[in-house]
Amino acid sequence: MIVKEEFLNRLRKIFDLNLYEVRVWTALLSRGVSTAGELSNISDVPRSRTYDILETLEKKGFIVMKLGKPIKFVALKPEEVIERVKKNMIVSAQEKSKRLEKLKGEEILTELNSLFTQGVKFVEPSDLSGSVKGRQNVYNHLDMMIRDAEKTITIVTTAQGLNRKLEALEPSLEKAKKRGVKIRIAAEINDSNKHIAKELSKYAEIRNMPKIRARLAIVDGEQVLFMVLDDDKVHPNYDVAIWLSTDFFASAMEQLFDAAWKGFKAI
């Protein structure tokens, strides 16, 4: 079976499969019905691993085992696979979410917090820094910063970044406003995001920043998260942000922003 590695890698990412799984699955798709031995030969997957892989693919909803002997496996239409996998992912995510939510009221969370608190005592504030990779992880980290904010939240973003902020951060921004946190957002405002800016203005003071392209956030004058790549030119999976927890640098950044803020036009 000749299938381009690039195609297999795309399938692996989309369907969350390992290399052997995607090879066996595509081999079965090319045959329709086949035995484990035949699939091992076609896919170049060791025979000792093929049965386990087929069992896993069956559980995940990719294939069906045919009744009778010798045991054979039947490929499902890709459209059906997509529907099955999507449903299974939703169910799995809901179950994991319930388990994690349940942890909030259990002793294990208290123990985890105790470990963290004890560990932080030995850490210099300047050591609380790092890189965050992938746009979803960046937004998760920014959301955490906003949820912990007590006084101020300052966000500088691009026109398209403003659109993303509403979807990713609206609940946390709303709660921050109710806590009395002062929120300011500067971005280029144009026809593509006017409605988003209006929606966000419920929680934050929004100003138009047409001539500056930057992506950063400052919280309480203590933490800074700045994105180092142009969101016009980078794939979301390869986006990168640097997080720094240092009041000296964060306060300096906020003072610079305060000076620039006066020149931005309110919407």
Over residues 14-31, the mean pLDDT reads 93
pLDDT computed for residue 68 by the predictor: 78
- 128: pLDDT confidence band, cut at 50, 70 and 90? low
pLDDT computed for residue 245 by the predictor: 86
Least confidently predicted of 16-25, 126-135, 258-267 = 126-135
pLDDT computed for residue 240 by the predictor: 94
| Greater pLDDT, 89 or 3 | 89
- Tens digit of each residue's pLDDT (9 = 90 or more) over 218-257: 999 999 999 999 999 999 989 999 999 888 889 999 999 9
Q: Which of 18, 43, 13 is nearest to 31 (CA)?
A: 43
Please tell me whether the overall predicted TM-score, pTM, comes out greater than 0.85 for this model.
no
- Tens digit of each residue's pLDDT (9 = 90 or more) over 188-203: 999 999 999 999 999 9
Instruction: State yes or no: pLDDT of 99 exceeds 80.
Output: yes
Q: Give the chain's domains with CATH numbers.
A: 5-82 (1.10.10.10), 128-266 (3.30.870.10)
pLDDT computed for residue 180 by the predictor: 97
pLDDT computed for residue 126 by the predictor: 53
Mean pLDDT of the chain: 88
